[in-house]
């Protein structure tokens, strides 16, 4: 009888350890950053994180003249949404936040992100708003002279925010195409 109760107690303890959905990306639920932003979209509309409640958000910070990681990341995100299928993809909004507001005009941002997917949205702010947002999401960026112009060094993480507005996932740049579709499905099922 003691063995029977020991097995039951161990089973219950193991079941209690299952705290929720299993993601392929890094689950960062409960972090104290990535809770807000106040920027403008390429249509001139002021946007806040709360505006997107009800949709899962995929957020990436970059700039339109980025030669490598930005176009690759946006292409991978577009591919991940295709793998989701049209119904689930409608429940996801991709946000590209520029770290180069000096050169990334609303017109340029619109042309750039919609080349990857017509539903992608780009956000920008003045230098102060860009800095505040980057700090809130723990994004590194720095303008660096390059010949007669400049480039912008920046971190390349992608974040996923759930439909309730909570930062949930950190997706490595090299794992977007493989992990993001399953992670978004899991998150959308959890939020249904």
In the chain, the percentage of residues whose pLDDT exceeds 90 is: 88
Show the low-confidence residues of the chain (pLDDT under 70).
Answer: 1-21
pLDDT, residue 20, reads 61
Task: Report the CATH number that the domain containing residue 53 is assigned in CATH.
Answer: 3.40.30.10
pLDDT of residue 153: 96
> What's the domain count of the chain?
1
Q: Is 46 helix (H, G, I), strand (E, B) or coil?
A: strand
Q: Look at residue 154 in the predicted model and tell me its pLDDT.
A: 96
Whose tokens are 């702010």? That residue is: 125
Q: Measure the CA–CA gap between 18 and 95, rounded to whole angstroms.
A: 31
The span from the CA of 181 to the CA of 77, in Å, is: 9
Question: For residue 29, is it within any domain?
Answer: yes
Q: Model-level pTM greater than 0.85?
A: yes
> Residue 37 is part of which domain span?
23-191
With b for 16 or more beta-carbon neighbours within 10 A and e for fewer, the 22-52 pattern comes to: ebbbebbeeeeebeebebbbbeeeebebeeb
């Amino acid at each position: 009888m003691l063995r029977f109760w020991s097995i039951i107690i161990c089973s219950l303890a193991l079941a209690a350890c299952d705290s929720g959905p299993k993601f392929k990306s890094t689950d960062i639920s409960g972090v104290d950053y990535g809770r807000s932003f106040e920027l403008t979209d390429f249509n001139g509309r002021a946007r806040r994180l709360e505006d997107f409640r009800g949709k899962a958000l995929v957020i990436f910070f970059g700039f339109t003249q980025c030669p490598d990681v930005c176009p690759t990341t946006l292409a991978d995100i577009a591919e991940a949404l295709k793998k989701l299928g049209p119904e689930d993809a409608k429940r996801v909004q991709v946000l590209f936040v520029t770290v180069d507001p000096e050169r990334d005009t609303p017109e340029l941002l619109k042309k750039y992100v919609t080349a990857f997917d017509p539903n992608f949205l780009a956000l920008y702010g003045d230098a102060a708003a860009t800095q505040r947002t980057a700090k809130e999401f723990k994004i590194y960026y720095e303008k660096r002279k390059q010949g007669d112009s400049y480039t912008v060094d920046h971190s390349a993480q992608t974040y996923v925010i759930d439909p309730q507005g909570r930062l949930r996932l950190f997706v490595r740049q090299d794992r977007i195409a493989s992990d993001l579709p399953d992670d978004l499905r899991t998150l959308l099922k959890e939020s249904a």
